[in-house]
Every structure is written in C-alpha cells, then in structure tokens.
Amino acid sequence: MQLSLEGQTLGKYRILEPLGRGGMARVYRAYHPQLDRYVAIKVLRPDLVEEEDFPTRFQREARHVATLRHANIVQIFDSDVEGDLYYMVMELLEGDTLKARLNDYRVRGERMPWGEIVRILLDVLDGLDYAHSEGMVHRDIKPANIMLTKRGQAVIGDFGIARMVGGTRYTLSGALMGTVSYIAPEQGLEGESDARSDLYSLGIVFYEMLTQHPPFEGDTPLAILMKHVSDPLPLPRQIDPEIPEAFERIVLKALAKRAEDRYQSAAEMAQALRDAAREAGIALVDRISQPLSFTTRDAPAEHVTVISGAARQKLQDAGFADDATDITLGKRLAVAQETGTQNPRGPQARNKEKPERAPREERKGVGRAIFTALMLVTTYNLLAVMFSGITRWKLYTNGWPIQLLVGGIGLCIIMITTRNRWLLIPVGIIIGNGIIFSYYAVTHNWELWEFFWPLEPILIMITLGITIYWPFRGQDDSKIVQSIGSALAIASFALSGLVALAAIIAP
C-alpha cells in the first residue's frame, strides 16, 4: 500500500496535500518553486508497475499524452520516475468531477439541466475527437474522469493511464478491464477498443446523466459485463418520460452492442447531439455553471459529497460511487469463468456485507403471490361445490374449464409479482387450453375436436416461441411482463364469468 507523500519532494515538485485516489493512482497538489506554479501530480501505485516492459510503456505513453494540446483535455506538463514511483505532472484545475456533480444532484433530488448536459457532452466529444485524430483512445471514460472546471468547461482526465497500466490488450485474462459499468462489450470480452469504444462509454455517461444511474447494474463485475454484452437496454424514457425523445435516440445509437452500429466518430455524435437539442428546443449554454461546492481551501480538485442519513435514502443505489477503475478485475473475471463462481470480488467488495440471495421484501411478495394463487383455486372449488350442492347449477358438468382459467389467473398473479417472463409458458398453455375447452364444454361440439386438435401443438409452439424469442428487446422487461400478466388475468376472469353463466343457465 502506497504511503502518503505529503510534505516530501518528488523531483522538482514539493508535495503539498493529497487531492484524491483511485484504482490506479493517487493525486497530489504540488508546487514547482522555480516556475512558481501549482500543479497536480498523479503517482501510479507501485504494485501496478512491476511488469518488465512497464518503464518503456510508461515513457512511450507519457510522451504521447504530453503531445495532446486541447482545451478539453487535461494538459500533461511532465513525467518522471523516482525510485519505484512513476508519476505524471499535469495542470491543476479548480472545480469538481462530473461524478461529484451528479452525486450532488442525486442527493438534492434534482436533475442536471438539459442545456448543461449537452454542453458537457459537446466539450467531451470535442476533446475525444481531437485525441482520436491523434491516434489516442482513452479506454476509461466515466464521470470520475471528466472535470467540470471553474472556467465553465468539461475537461477529460486520465488519458493514457489505462494503456500504461494495462498494456496493449485488455482481455478477461489481462490486467485491466477499465470501469466495468462504463465499458464497451468488445473491450470487456475481446480486448479490442477504438474510438467507438470511447463513444459507448460516453453513451453510458449520457444515460446516467439522464436517468440518475447507469443502465446495467449487478452484484458482480462479471454480471454487469455480461449485461453490456447481451441484455437489452432499459429505455430512458420508460424511466423518465420527461427525457426528450431525441436524446433517447442518441443513447440508443451510442449504446449499440456492435461497434459498427454506433456513431463512427466523436464529430458525428456531436453533430447528432446538436441536432437533437435543436429538435427538443433546448438552448445550448456557453459555459457550465459553477461547481456546487468545493472541498479544498485554495485549489480544489474534486468535490467530495458526504452522503448519509436521509440524504443517502434518497439514492436509488448507494453503491453508485464505487466506480474506481479496477486493474485486477480482468484476472478475477478469468478465474470466475474457469471456476464458474461468477463472483470475482476485489478489495472494496471484501469489506462489504454479502448481499442476500433475494431482498427480504421481494421474497415476501413472491410468497404472498403463491399463497394468493392457491387460495384463489381453493376458494373457487369450495364455492363451486357449495353452490352445486344447493342449486342445480352444472358448474362441474358444463363449467369445468373454469378450473383451468382460475389456475391460469393464479399463475398470472405470480408472474406479475416475480416479473419473470418464463412463467408465460405455463400461463399461456393453461389459459389457452381453458379458452379452447370452454368452447367445447359450453357448446358440446366435441365432434369438432378431430378438426381442431392441432390447436394444441400450435398453442404450445406460439407460447414457447414468444417466450424464448422475446420480441420486446430494448424495452423494460419487467413492465411488459406485468402488463401481459395483468391482461391475461383480466381476460381469464371475464371468460370464467361467461362460462359460469353458461353453465348456470344450461338445461
């Protein structure tokens, strides 16, 4: 573990105070006496630079990053090594990170203004467009790496760090995975990354700015990564209908699973964003508003929001701040794949309480749904027996398919509660048979069965087909499952009433 360098001298620089720390480095505020200039120094963790080719890679990447000259990219002044400490010297920016700004809005229960969202994204896209034209891919775009300065600009930090530490490839068996919540599918699984991978990561940032949280979350890094690869994107406007439709289109294209389906350049995405803002009637602001608060007295580098008590309860997911780049994630994911555990946990996760297999309230809800379904079937049978005994109603002779419909309603209740689309298979087959046999039981046209029996395999194939090849990809599964379950339950209840009436008045 790297000790604090506060008060020491590193090369020509006097270390004054720590400004922050992440998964790959610590950042200090420092002073250059000859130039009379305050700077920020990023010192890489010593345990990350043990590879034999690291010194060569560090020098190469540091030189490359130092050539970048753009208003929306943090300027690198110098880089050097002292003992086992590899460090980069960069301009000291006053402001806070986008991550801190979003945290502040979450705590306040507010949303960043549309115009500021567009301004931030356009600044980042301008910086990325320049860097990509110079052959540099960031590989770790996330809110914590986007500074919002007092000059009213969004500035990208940490260019080159990911490549320095992780080498040239970023696979499951390699060292670096980046920040898994913001990583592109091809970067996570295949180790391939280019300009379009950065645009995917920025698309995740855009999604979070619109909805207050990233689109894919899970208990383990591998679970999140696999959602990037295969899960449909929850639509932003289903989360918040006030989000402009034009913005949603930008997100959908930026977060396409295949790189060739995304924006092919930062300039293309920037133009699409300007067009979307114009379509939505959103005026572009010239500069970003001042940071909401600061933490250091003289030259703050990152605002730190203390979230506790009632403020913490306002957050949908208090773990949103755990987005430090994890350079050991790749190796742990590889081990997880080999062992089948799918639970690679790093130092941060080891200190967290092990999550329950299912939230307690959710388990209670499922239990209540199953109990309700059983009580529904039991109650119907008791009432049918009672009324059949004291009347001449032929509920069992002519109305026996009601048993299937009532059973289907019970399964619909469980389906609505669990939001599990796979329950559509038994629900569809049981209710479908209830409909088919209701016709025969009421009309007594059993001679038609020899012509209509193929309805059975057709019903099964349709139900299996819809469930397996789910046609609602890219939409909120849970809401659609609940809507389908509710519709089937209402239809079954109405048909049960009609069959019961037919059985009662039958001669």
Which of the residues are catalytic?
140
- Rounded (5°) CA angle 239-243-248: 85
Q: Which of 2, 33, 32, 34 is CA-nearest to residue 18?
A: 2
Structure tokens at 246: 């034009």
Measure the N-to-C terminal CA separation of the chain; round to a whole number of Å.
87
The answer to whether 290 and 126 have CB atoms below 8 angstroms apart is: no
Nearby residues of 202 by Cβ (< 8 Å), 6 or more positions away: 121, 124, 125, 128, 141, 254, 269
Nearby residues of 59 by Cβ (< 8 Å), 6 or more positions away: 79
Rounded Cα distance between 325 and 329, Å, is 9
What is the torsional sign of CA 316, 318, 319, 322? Answer: positive
Structure tokens at 170: 């970023």
Nearby residues of 458 by Cβ (< 8 Å), 6 or more positions away: none
Q: What is the CA radius of gyration of the chain?
A: 30
* DSSP-based three-state secondary structure for 364: helix
